[in-house]
Structure 1
């Protein structure tokens, strides 16, 4: 019985690791249309030992929001993700997907942007914060 319980616990442990939540979307490379309205923007600030340049912009079109990185570059790192965050640290966040400076990230409808005033670039594998951008309304 102990063996079955141990195997079941081990199975649950392995199947629950690294599962991305429902809010995580695949990144789509698309252009922001001319009808989109710039709603928020921010400039990235690096954490210690990291080089980062660029900004983040959030656009609204047809009641949907998209996040785009602008003139963005960062030190290389493994498993870098783009997060919308309630704080300037990755404690309460929405994972928008893998970092791709040329991509447009769709923000899920159920996300209230007023609750997420930061965009973070975070190394999920090593739990290391690379950069922070505080969003300002435009």
Structure 2
């Protein structure tokens, strides 16, 4: 029994070591135009002993929304995804795509998403179900 518990503990600490074949594809990103209006913003907070800095900004560009990660850095991990979530946990979310590299990244938000319903941005290791960071979105009053 002790051996099994030790093995489970080791897997929990080192489980996020390799990417799965089905999650390697980058789902999507884009750029924010200079005419876009900042509508929501949130500062990333670390989860589970990870390190993170930066903000999540939601811009309205015409009739579409885009999520932009600014001044962003995070502890490395495989299969990291960017989610819009109903809660600060990955239990009901929209997957915006694989986390890219760099301090500035942009993702297109699907049409019809309500930020009153999805007020969190999460960085999550999908393959091993490990939450790395959360950002609670707040309205940017005009």
TM-score (norm 2): 0.76
List gaps (5 residues or longer) in structure 1. 1-17, 20-24
**TM-superposed deviation, 1:29:** 4.1
**TM-superposed deviation, 1:103:** 2.8
Q: For the residues of structure 2 that align with 1:103 and 1:49, how far apart are their CA atoms?
A: 23
Aligned residue pairs total 115
Q: For the residues of structure 1 that align with 2:42 and 2:63, how far apart are their CA atoms?
A: 21
**TM-superposed deviation, 1:116:** 0.4
Q: For the residues of structure 1 that align with 2:44 and 2:79, how far apart are their CA atoms?
A: 18
Q: Which residue of 1 aligns with 2:56?
A: 56
List gaps (5 residues or longer) in structure 2. 1-21
Q: For the residues of structure 1 that align with 2:57 and 2:99, how far apart are their CA atoms?
A: 15
SS in 2 for 1:77: coil
Matches within 5 A, 1:46-125: 46-100=46-100, 101=102, 102-125=104-127
Task: Give 4+ residue runs of structure 1 displaced > 4 Å after superposition.
Answer: none
Once superposed, what is the RMSD of the aligned Cα atoms?
A: 1.6
Larger radius of gyration: 1
Q: For the residues of structure 1 that align with 2:123 and 2:130, how far apart are their CA atoms?
A: 9
> Which stretch shows the higher mean deviation, 49-58 or 103-112?
103-112
